[in-house]
Amino acid sequence: MNAGSASTPDAVEPSPVPAAKLGIWWFLASEVMVFGGALVSFILLRLVGPGWSEDLAHNSVALGSINTLILITSSFTIVEVLSAQKRGDEKKFRSFMGITIVLGLLFLVIKGVEYSAHFSEGLFPDKGLFWAFYFGLTGLHALHVLAGIVANASLLVVVSRPGGFARYSHRAEMNGLYWHFVDVVWIFLFPLLYLG
């Protein structure tokens, strides 16, 4: 911000919210609309459609529940990352971030196991509207998880550099907000695609 030749920082009107946080919340607002639009489509077509309870039975509630617990736990660990950042605890910050990344990867692995089980049963996206939505919604969500893992991993890398903690660790809050949002999406996908 202080790019000009002015030697003192420019005087700025006080702002209610820090820029990065405001930015991530605007981003989440548009993400709500992305998943909102997709879920609205799914719910309406489901209500009018044949019910799909047979298709639903192919999904393993056990694996879905495990994934739910994984994401919930990772939400908890990333909140601990933020607490560690507030306390200035560099070691805890790194270890909790590491756990979060591992949990995210574990989620994707289990998702992959489920996908391959479906493929081996011959269930592809073109096998009916339920599977189209199933793969569309979980695929979109998995991409978000992947993006979150990449963001978390790159934060972990820059924070581990010398002096990185002081400069970059405040970004943990943004990563956390995004990660929680992805968790919230899954909280709704799970009953819709596994239980409902």
Partner 1 sequence: MAAGEAHGPSNVIIWVYLVVLAILSVFVSSVFPAPADTIAVFALAIAKAVLVLLYFMHLRVEKIFIHSLFFIPLLLVVVLYVGLMPDIMRSMY
Partner 2 sequence: MIRWQLAYPETEIPLFGRPIGPDEYNAFVTMHGTIMVFFVAMPLLVAAMGNFLIPLMIGARDMAFPRLNMMSVWVLAVASLVLLASFFVEAGPAAAGWTGYPPLSARIEYTGVEYGLDLWILALALEFASFLMGGINFLVTPINLRTRGMSLFRLPLIVWMIMGASILFLLSVGPLIAGAVFLLLDRNLGTSFFLAEGGGDPLLWQHLFWFFGHPEVYVILLPAAGAMMEIISTFSRKTIFGYKSIIYAVMIAGVLSFLVWAHHQFISGLDPRLAMPFSITTILISVPFAFIIFSMLATMWGGSIWLTTPMWFAVGGLSVFIFGGVTGIFNGSAPVDIYIHDTYFVVAHFHSTLFSTVFLGGFAALYYWYPKMFGRMMNEFWGKVHFWGTYIFFLLVFVPMHLLGVGGMMRRIADPSKYEFVKELLPMNEFITVAAIGLLLIQAPFVFNFLGSMFVGKKASENPWDATTLEWTTPSPPPHGNWPGAIPAVHRPPYEYAVPGVSEEWLPQSRPEGAAS
Q: Of 127-156, which residues contact partner 2 (CB under 8 A)?
A: 128-129, 131-133, 135-136, 140
Task: Please tell me the distance from the alpha carbon of residue 146 to that of residue 111, in angstroms, as a whole number.
Answer: 12
Q: Is 16 in the site for partner 1 (CB under 8 A)?
A: yes
| CA distances for 162 relative to 47, 90, 91, 166, 184, angstroms | 56, 11, 13, 9, 34
Q: Is 177 in the site for partner 2 (CB under 8 A)?
A: no
With CB under 8 A as the contact rule, the residue among 18, 20, 44, 161 that binds partner 1 is: 44
Q: Of 74-93, which residues contact partner 1 (CB under 8 A)?
A: 75-76, 79-80, 82-83, 86
Tokens 């994707």 belong to 108
Is the distance from CB of 176 to CB of 78 less than 8 angstroms? yes
With CB under 8 A as the contact rule, the residue among 48, 91, 162, 163 that binds partner 1 is: 48
Task: Please tell me the distance from the alpha carbon of residue 44 to that of residue 177, in angstroms, as a whole number.
Answer: 29
CB of 179 to partner 1, least distance (A): 9
Stretch that binds partner 2, among 35-43, 108-116, 153-161, 186-194 (CB under 8 A): 35-43
Q: Is 47 in the site for partner 2 (CB under 8 A)?
A: no
Task: Please tell me the distance from the alpha carbon of residue 27 to that of residue 129, in angstroms, as a whole number.
Answer: 29
Task: Please tell me the distance from the alpha carbon of residue 129 to that of residue 191, in angstroms, as a whole number.
Answer: 18
The listed partner (partner 1, partner 2, none) that binds 82, CB under 5 to 8 Å by sort, is partner 1
Task: Please tell me the distance from the alpha carbon of residue 151 to that of residue 184, in angstroms, as a whole number.
Answer: 18
Angle of helix 61-87 versus helix 172-190 axis, rounded to 10 = 160
Tokens 């919230």 belong to 184
**Nearest 5°: phi and psi at 161?**
-65, 155
With CB under 8 A as the contact rule, the residue among 20, 26, 147, 167 that binds partner 1 is: 26
* Cβ neighbour number for residue 6 with a 10 Å cutoff: 9
User: Which residues contact partner 2 (rule: CB under 8 A)?
Assistant: 1-6, 8, 10-13, 15-19, 22-23, 26-27, 29-38, 40-41, 44-45, 49-50, 124-126, 128-129, 131-133, 135-136, 140
User: Which residues contact partner 1 (rule: CB under 8 A)?
Assistant: 16-17, 21, 25-26, 28-30, 32-33, 36-37, 39-41, 43-45, 47-48, 61, 65, 68-69, 72-73, 75-76, 79-80, 82-83, 86, 173, 176-177, 180-181, 183-184, 187-188, 190-191, 195-196
